[in-house]
């Protein structure tokens, strides 16, 4: 796909979903530690579910020091609604321990350091860098971004690493900050996994999959 064409699609979506006071993150967090832990917990579940257990979790464990010393069973009981809670509880406790042991209790601000933490892949690292530190060197590719990028022809790949590379090559760095948000917004509201609402879609005339997704 040509860059100009992709940017036209982005412009339409940007105008639809972003205004001056738009908050570009779906998770409710107050500091880098919270966005890191919440993003690990957001795998395979909704942001609404994660936001629902946020207060309870951080009331009990407000920082890495507290969570590093938590009992697995007590953490599991709090985060159970997010699914995969056995693995997630171990990962967020192990990540907290790593923050204490290797980073002085702080969440690191580089991709390489973040990727050393248990349960942290490029998607989580990108979200932390975007929202905690304002670093927009990459694009977080979740299930929404993956689906939209393929349907709209931004990529022909299906694995997140290659999709991210395609997006970074296709779009100017000035839009990387917004891409995850606008694609997720359009995915949730219009281009749903099943039965996308192509008849209501503002980029249908530019979409290679318009009216072609099996019902």
Nearer Cβ to ligand SF4 (73/214): 214
Nearest alpha carbon to residue 128 among 26, 39, 48: 39
Of residues 145 and 191, the one with the C-beta less far from ligand SF4: 191
181 φ/ψ sector (left φ>0, alpha ψ -120 to 50, else beta): alpha
Following DSSP, what letter does each residue of 7-65 receive, concatenated? HHHHHHHHHHH--TT----SS--SSHHHHHHHHHHTTTS-HHHHHHHHHHHHHH--SHH
Q: Minimum distance from CB of 16 to ligand SF4 (Å)? A: 11
State in angstroms the smallest separation of the CB of 203 from ligand SF4: 6
> Minimal distance in Å, beta carbon 204 to ligand SF4?
4
Helices and strands counted in the chain (H then E): 11, 0
User: Min. distance of Cβ 138 from ligand SF4 in angstroms?
Assistant: 23
Query: Which of 18/97 has CB closer to ligand SF4?
Result: 18
Minimum CB distance to ligand SF4 smaller for 102 or for 189: 189
Residue 82 DSSP code: G
Q: Which positions are catalytic?
A: 123, 142
Give the footprint of ligand SF4 on this chain (CB under 6 A). Answer: 151-152, 190-191, 196-198, 201, 203-204, 207, 209-210, 213
């Amino acid at each position: 796909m040509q860059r100009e064409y992709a940017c036209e699609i982005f412009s339409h979506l940007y105008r639809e979903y972003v205004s001056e006071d738009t908050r570009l993150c779906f998770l409710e967090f107050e500091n880098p530690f919270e966005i890191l832990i919440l993003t690990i917990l957001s795998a395979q579940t909704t942001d609404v579910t994660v936001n629902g257990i946020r207060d309870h979790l951080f009331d009990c464990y407000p920082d890495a020091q507290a969570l590093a010393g938590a009992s697995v069973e007590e953490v599991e009981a709090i985060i159970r609604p997010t699914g995969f809670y056995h693995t997630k509880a171990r990962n967020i406790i192990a990540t907290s321990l790593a923050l204490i042991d290797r980073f002085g209790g702080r969440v690191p601000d580089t991709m390489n350091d973040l990727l050393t933490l248990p349960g942290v892949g490029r998607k989580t690292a990108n979200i932390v860098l975007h929202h905690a530190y304002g670093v927009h060197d990459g694009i977080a590719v979740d299930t929404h971004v993956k689906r939209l990028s393929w349907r709209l022809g931004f990529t022909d790949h299906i694995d997140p690493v290659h999709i991210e590379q395609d997006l970074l090559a296709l779009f100017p760095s000035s839009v990387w900050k917004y891409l995850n948000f606008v694609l997720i917004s359009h995915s949730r509201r219009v281009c749903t996994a099943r039965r996308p609402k192509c008849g209501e879609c503002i980029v249908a005339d530019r979409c290679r999959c318009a009216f072609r997704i099996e019902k």
